[in-house]
Chains A and B, each alone.
Chain A
Amino acid sequence: MKSEIKLFENGKRLDGRMPDELRNIKIKAGVLHRAEGSCYLEWGGNKVMVAVYGPREAIPRHTQNPLRAIVTARYNMAAFSVEDRKRPGPDRRSREISKVISEALESVILVEKFPRATIDVNIEVLDAEAGTRCAGLTAAAVALVDAGIPMKDIPVACAAGKINDQIVLDLGKDEDNYGSADLPIAISPRTGEILLLQMDGHLTQEEFDKAFDFALKGCHIISDLQKKAILEKYQSEAGGI
């Protein structure tokens, strides 16, 4: 079934991209007034909104860590984000994604500065088209910077995968559904440290290395976009006069 669908035509992908080309990405920082930090991100057909609250005292109390802050990311897909209505509420998939994103963010935030506190990151997927965990994490990083939370780095995520026995960067919807492997990674671009690495499907060692290089390259491109989005929002305040 999987290999019956042609995902390549004349060396180009279904949506006309080259194998190592990203989808269009648009990032906007500080879009919500009530949240302390926020970010809106469009990544191909993905639309993600992130709001950051805190640091504030963690409640209930037993969740507090007397030495550092905890980071609680909540990944949620809107009911209208996919073709068939998604049943609202946390499910097995979104709980897993919440967990891996929380842990990725925790390793770059300077959590020792806020003992007993919590930093809440609400990731709302409004429109989904493959790669929402990467989009969510990328947007969450921008929102955290916007909230003025001290961080060692701005994390960034990107995926690579295998379709029709070829390694490609940033899988689209059909490529994800009918492709044979998906490898989302998140890195800390300054140090190159890996914050998240998951794999769905099978890859040989060589394929994995190639996919990893692709995703790494993608991460660095997106990292520049993130920084540009933050500067765009705040540079005008400083340079305007």
Chain B
Amino acid sequence: MNQDKREIVIPSQFLGEIKNKKAGKGTFVENGKIYAEILGVLSNNPDYINVISLKGRYDPTEKDFVIGIVIEAMQSSWLVDINAAYPALLHVNEVPWDVEFGETEKYLNKGDSIMAKVLQVDQEKKLQITLKDYNLYKIKGGFISYVEPSKVPRIIGKKGSMISLLKKYTKCRIFVGQNGRIWIDGDEDGIKKVIETIVMIEDESLSYGLTNKIEELLKKDTKDVH
């Protein structure tokens, strides 16, 4: 495999025969041939072919941690935007509070942000989220930034290497939702630096050895301060 350059593929591009490899994510099979279905980066593994999307909506999967913004408070539930194609439903049974019927607005209102977990995605792509898990709550304070959902793994890094790096050097609290929203809390300079770094990671997300590069940069910045 070519290690310095990642190959960009576009829909309908021929990727290989089904006989040799399995068709993975972002591909479709027609007449025994594998084609790309989305614009993305080719990841050609020994026994399967994936296309990692470059752009597009967040595709919700069960048990994903996401950051949502409440769109509407209804009688016994809330509608929450989690950047998917559809709004997600948060039922009063799925929150840690004891909510009386019709009093949902007391707890969460339009515009409030929450950290949530995707509870269920059904066949019709009806989404349900929950707040009943550890580390899930209503967000108070801080700042929410946004990246393409496909770039989230790069922000987190291998086994969380990139994100722990960011936390270490900026002393900020950071939570990355799988839907591309990132919550940052800390002092003003810290938040600024985190956002700058995130923008950089997003721009250079396709290059190799990015974690080391970012670490050097963050180190240099901290030296400048002292």
Contacts and interface: CB of A to CB of B under 8 A. Distances in A.
Contact of A115 (B6, B35, B124): B124
A77 B17 CA distance: 44
Given A116-B86, A117-B86, A234-B8, A149 B124 contact: no
B163 to A, nearest CB: 21
A147 B10 CA distance: 12
A150 B26 contact: yes
A231 B125 contact: no
A70 to B, nearest CB: 12
Contacts of A230: 10, 39
A157 to B, nearest CB: 16
Interface of B is mostly: loop
B interface bracket (residues with beta carbon within 8 Å of A): 20 to 34
Nearest to A191: B30
Interface string B192-209: 000000000001101100
Given A55-B85, A154-B10, A147 B124 contact: no
Interface of B: 5-8, 10-12, 26, 28, 30, 35, 37-41, 53-57, 85-87, 123-125, 203-204, 206-207
29 contacts: A36-B57, A54-B85, A56-B86, A57-B85, A57-B87, A110-B28, A115-B124, A116-B125, A145-B10, A145-B39, A146-B39, A148-B54, A148-B57, A150-B26, A151-B12, A151-B38, A152-B12, A152-B30, A152-B35, A154-B10, A154-B12, A230-B10, A234-B8, A237-B54, A238-B5, A238-B6, A238-B7, A238-B8, A241-B204
